[in-house]
């Protein structure tokens, strides 16, 4: 049974007697940024931190105060080398595609982890090492748990805390979450879920399962993956990525309980970690652009102004940047409205929509290439998104309702969860029209229940204290 209890007051600060913490993060913005936020908090609390991450994130990782160690091979270059060729697919193809990526990356993940463990041992002789691994890159931890040869200086695998910042990678008998447009049904027959899991293992997941098994054998791991699932693995066929979720001493799902389905068969190492708070984004030399005055003028913080326009922010994250999916139709649907100010964030530096729009921008639309989410979200009435976990968490932290419509990666599952939690309108996984996005926004603006629920979730997140929870669970491994 999951531990849903909010964290107690944070433990005493780290000292030289504490273990060294080695952080691992998948080389993608949405996976690295949350781990960097946690790392910076722990550095400020006095812990000695090393960070194994993508080379493109070296500067931001070093800014946390941690010692940077670069990933190597495909797990470092997958966005540049693998993604343009293979993509991540849509619909039912998403899960097998991602699991195949994790499988073929596994040797480079294991090699990078072993190299990092050796480096930390060399620099910190005699000190215990504890891993804090983002779950997407936890294949190296799983390999150690399954018997991969240890590097010199280690007699047993280091203890590990898993940090999951995507929907749970766990095959439940209560809800067979295929990251698809399937609503949670508390009355679903478990036998149906078991059958779906079996058919998936023998069908769309077979290639990824076989590839993961082969890649584990390539790094001298021959113990069955199923051994990580305990008795639960005998009741339902798991997906290969479940090993990344089950391999840790503790795995924290980084959300509050109200954002997740009430599953009864979480693995014994599972607990809710809480939703990460807004990050400190403003630097000493940060200068607000001129257009931001409009945002302040119409801010949702001043709802009493009769002349105020409602602010609708829209963004699609850093991977799913086909702006025809969400961003452009949202602009088209709300263009010219006297009661709404649209702020569209492209999330790509120096990007523009030049040549992409059929008409000039209306005066109620602001398009920016790259800008901190939180700076806009705190003033917004609604956030429109394809549903990345990061912006999902940001909106919860600020108490801002959402309109969601996604069909790639984990976006479908996030849309379902936002609707289940009661603070979002989910337009589903199909391509939507400008009229559909306008209707979704108006549904939220016209019904105060969405804002009320968003504020309730914000209060729950603040009470949970995510950073304090992570530190508490980390110290429990010392």
Q: Residue 13: what pLDDT?
A: 57
**Residue 3 located in a structural domain:** no
252, 338: one domain? no
For 413-455, write each residue's pLDDT tens digit: 899 999 999 999 999 877 889 999 999 999 999 999 999 999 9
Domains in the chain: how many in total? 2
**Residue 456 located in a structural domain:** yes
The continuous run of DSSP H or E covering 231 comes out as: none
353, 236: one domain? no
Residue 357, CA distances (Å) to 332, 335, 350, 351, 421 in order: 9, 11, 17, 14, 34
Q: How many CB atoms lie within 10 A of CB 463?
A: 11
128, 236: one domain? yes
For 231-273, write each residue's pLDDT tens digit: 999 999 999 999 999 999 999 999 999 999 999 999 999 999 9
**Residue 425 located in a structural domain:** yes
194: domain CATH number is 3.40.50.2000
Q: Residue 11: what pLDDT?
A: 46
**Residue 9 located in a structural domain:** no
* pLDDT more than 90, % of the chain: 74
**Residue 212 located in a structural domain:** yes
For 188-211, write each residue's pLDDT tens digit: 899 999 999 999 999 999 999 999
For residue 454, the enclosing domain spans 292-462
pTM for the model stands at 0.91
Helix axis angle for 206-218 and 190-202, nearest 10°, is: 60
143, 52: one domain? yes
Q: Residue 301: what pLDDT?
A: 86
Q: Residue 261: what pLDDT?
A: 94
Q: Residue 2: what pLDDT?
A: 54
pLDDT band at 320 (very low <50, low <70, confident <90, very high): low
The continuous run of DSSP H or E covering 334 comes out as: helix 327-334
93, 185: one domain? yes
Residue 92 DSSP SS3: helix
pLDDT at 6 exceeding the cut of 50? no
Mean pLDDT of 163-167: 94
């Amino acid at each position: 049974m999951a531990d849903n209890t909010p964290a107690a007051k944070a433990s005493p600060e780290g000292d030289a007697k504490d273990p060294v913490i080695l952080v691992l993060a998948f080389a993608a913005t949405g996976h690295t940024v949350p781990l960097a936020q946690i790392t910076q908090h722990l550095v400020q609390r006095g812990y000695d931190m090393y960070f194994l991450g993508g080379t493109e994130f070296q500067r931001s990782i070093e800014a946390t105060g941690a010692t940077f160690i670069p990933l190597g091979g495909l797990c470092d270059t997958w966005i540049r080398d693998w993604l343009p060729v293979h993509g991540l697919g849509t619909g039912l193809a998403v899960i097998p595609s991602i699991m195949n990526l994790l499988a073929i990356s596994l040797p480079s993940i294991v090699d990078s982890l072993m190299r990092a463990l050796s480096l930390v041992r060399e620099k910190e002789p005699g000190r215990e090492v504890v891993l804090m691994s983002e779950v997407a890159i936890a294949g190296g931890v799983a390999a150690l748990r399954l018997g991969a040869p240890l590097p010199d200086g280690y007699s047993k695998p280091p203890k590990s805390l898993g940090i999951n910042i995507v929907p749970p990678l766990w095959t439940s008998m209560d809800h067979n979450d295929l990251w698809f447009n399937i609503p949670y049904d508390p009355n679903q027959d478990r036998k149906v879920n078991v059958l779906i899991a079996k058919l998936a293992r023998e069908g769309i997941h077979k290639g990824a399962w076989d590839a993961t098994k082969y890649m584990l054998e390539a790094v001298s791991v021959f113990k069955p993956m199923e051994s990580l699932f305990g008795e639960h693995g005998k009741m339902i066929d798991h997906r290969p990525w479940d090993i990344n979720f089950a391999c840790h001493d503790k795995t924290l799902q980084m959300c509050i309980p109200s954002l997740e389905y009430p599953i009864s068969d979480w693995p014994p190492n599972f607990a809710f970690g809480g939703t990460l708070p807004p990050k400190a984004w403003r630097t000493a030399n940060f200068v607000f652009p001129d257009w931001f005055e409009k945002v302040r003028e119409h801010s949702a913080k001043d709802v009493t102004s009769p002349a105020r326009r409602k602010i609708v922010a829209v963004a699609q994250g850093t991977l799913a940047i086909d702006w025809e999916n969400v961003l452009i139709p949202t602009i088209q649907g709300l263009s010219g409205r006297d009661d709404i100010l649209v702020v569209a964030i492209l999330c790509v530096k120096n990007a523009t929509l030049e040549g992409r729009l059929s008409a000039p921008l209306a005066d109620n639309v602001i398009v920016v290439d790259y800008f901190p989410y939180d700076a806009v979200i705190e003033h917004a009435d609604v956030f429109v998104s394809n549903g990345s976990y990061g912006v999902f968490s940001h909106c919860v932290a600020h108490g801002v309702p959402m309109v969601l419509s996604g069909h790639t990666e984990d976006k479908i599952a996030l849309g379902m969860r936002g609707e289940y939690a009661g603070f979002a309108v989910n337009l589903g996984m199909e391509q939507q029209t400008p009229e559909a996005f306008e209707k979704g926004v108006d549904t939220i603006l016209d019904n105060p229940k969405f804002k009320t629920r968003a504020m309730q979730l914000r209060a729950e997140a603040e009470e949970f204290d995510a950073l304090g929870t992570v530190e508490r669970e980390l110290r429990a491994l010392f």
